[in-house]
Structure 1
Amino acid sequence: MLAGPALVALASGFALGLGLIVAIGAQNAFVLRQGLRLEHVAPVVVVCALSDVALIAAGVLGAGAAVSRAPLLIPVVCFAGAAFLLGYGALAGRRALRPGVLVTEAGGAGAGLAAAVATCLALTWLNPHVYLDTVVLLGSMASTYGEHRWQFGVGACVGSVLWFSALGYGARLLRPVFARPAAWRVLDAVIAVVMTALAVSLVVRGLDAR
């Protein structure tokens, strides 16, 4: 049974992990879209959750501190990530400008699954926000808990797994709303705006780090 300090570290990691991941971002937008379409939800949730667990573990192990000591890498990562997010946002914007339909078929386990997993991996591992927030921030916070830093990390991992599971499988509750093509256009428009805003924030962060 966890003692007081360990329990506090676990709860703090859970709260901070959720606080960082619940905000609308590239990962969440993609998971939500897959959940609404009922397409490859389990693989997408697993990929996102395992990726977050790996990144949180890296931060707790000290990767966050290592990254913070290499300031020359931060602008490069920020600009590359901004370009990627702008491209993804442009695709969402193009979908928003065209009437769409709610696709309910899974599309098979071949190219459709591979494309979904590849997109999920790209949105996770090519997004600098993941490293700057999850690895650096969570890693730095975990170090303040000393011997209980792993309890902090476990709490953050639990929060991530629960969030992605709830988002992916809970999205189907919104399917009646998205039975109309106009709703999909609104969602894609929101995704396009969010991706563009994230890209701009990365450019600003990259310029500040130079």
Structure 2
Amino acid sequence: MTTTSTLLMGAGMGLGLIAAVGAQNAYILQRSIRGDVAMVPIVMFCILSEAILILLGVAGVGVLVESAPAAITVMTWFGVVFLLAYGAVAATRAIRPGGGLAVDDDARIPSTLGAVAACAAFTWLNPHAYLDSVVFLGTLANQQAGDLRWVFAAGAFLAGTAWFMLIGFGGRALRGVFARPGAWRVLDAGIAVMMVALAVGLIRG
């Protein structure tokens, strides 16, 4: 397999995994639409986290993760609790009458540290991040001959970087739509349902 085809295969697999609807993507898009001033550190944190996870997978840590089912179980339940808690907050915003949901509502924009901390929880308390980026991508990368495994990893990383930049900075184009509080209530309701569904999915395995 050539370097180019390996790079493209890595990009395709990486994009297919990272672009799936999930808690992390929903959070980034929500913050982007709100015009969060912390978008740059949020996006950079996601890119760095993805790079670390992919590197761990290529380095063979995926094998260790697969051999530690107890750790995956503990991580899964932490993820379930976090998803349900965030879903409850989103549901509260969706059903609460009155204003406070407008795009320019600065009172609802968290500090940079708080925003990045929430993003860290969505990233590192998500067992699917380890299974997808570490185990799955790591396994596929190590199936490539020689140094082509790093080419595959580079393709996956570049795809993830492009995706995070797209939803992190492109979400602002939707601010006009979400200038109406009703639109935010619909979005928050959708996020609440998604978080609960993801939590149930984790429980069911």
- What is the TM-score when the length of structure 1 is the normalising length? 0.90
Q: Within the alignment, does 1:16 sit opposite 2:18 as a pair?
A: no
Q: 21, 28, 42: which one pairs with 1:31? A: 28
Cα deviation for residue 106 of structure 1 reads 6.0
Residue type of the partner of 1:123?
A: F
CA contact (8 A) 2:94 2:184 kept: yes
Instruction: Please list the CA deviations of residues 67-107 of structure 1 after superposition, one character each: whole Å capped at 9, or x if unmatched.
Output: 11222322222222111111111111111112442233667
Deviations 1:97-145 (A, max 9, x none): 12442233667x9x71111111111111111111111111111111111
> What letter matches 1:25 in structure 2?
G
Equivalent residue, structure 2, for 1:161: 161
Match for residue 202 of structure 1?
202
Among residues 67, 70, 84, which one is paired with 1:69 in the alignment? 67
Q: 1:116 aligns to what?
A: 115
Name structure 2 gaps, 5 residues minimum.
Answer: none
Identity %: 49
Quote the Cα distance in structure 2 between the aligned partners of 1:112 and 1:157. Answer: 28
Alpha-carbon distance in 1 for matches of 2:39, 2:72 = 32
- In structure 1, what is the equivalent of residue 143 of structure 2? 144
Return the alpha-carbon distance in structure 2 between the equivalents of residues 118 and 70 of structure 1. Answer: 26
Deviates more, 1:17-26 or 1:67-76: 67-76
Amino acid at match of 2:13: L
Give the partner amino acid of 1:83.
Answer: V
* Residue equivalent to 1:129: 128
1:124–1:130 Cα contact (<8 Å) kept: yes
Change (3 A) 1:106 1:181: closer
| 1:146 match: secondary structure | coil
Q: Deviations over 1:168-196 (max 9, x none)?
A: 11101111110111111111111111111
Secondary structure (helix, strand or coil) at the match of 1:72 reads: helix
The answer to which of 124-133 and 74-83 deviates more is 74-83
1:177 paired to 2:180: no
Other-structure match for 1:56 = 54
The aligned residue for residue 188 of structure 2 is 188
RMSD of aligned alpha carbons: 1.7
Gaps of 5+ in 1: 206-210
Count of aligned pairs: 200
Q: Using structure 2 for the length normalisation, give the TM-score.
A: 0.92
- State whether residues 103 and 179 of structure 2, in contact with CA within 8 Å, keep that contact through their aligned partners in structure 1: no
Q: Residue 72 of structure 2: SS of its match in structure 1?
A: helix
Task: Provide the C-alpha distance between the structure 2 equivalents of 1:104 and 1:168, rounded to a whole number of angstroms.
Answer: 17
CA distance in 1, matches of 2:21, 2:188: 13
Q: Partners of 1:142 and 1:91 in 2: how far apart?
A: 38
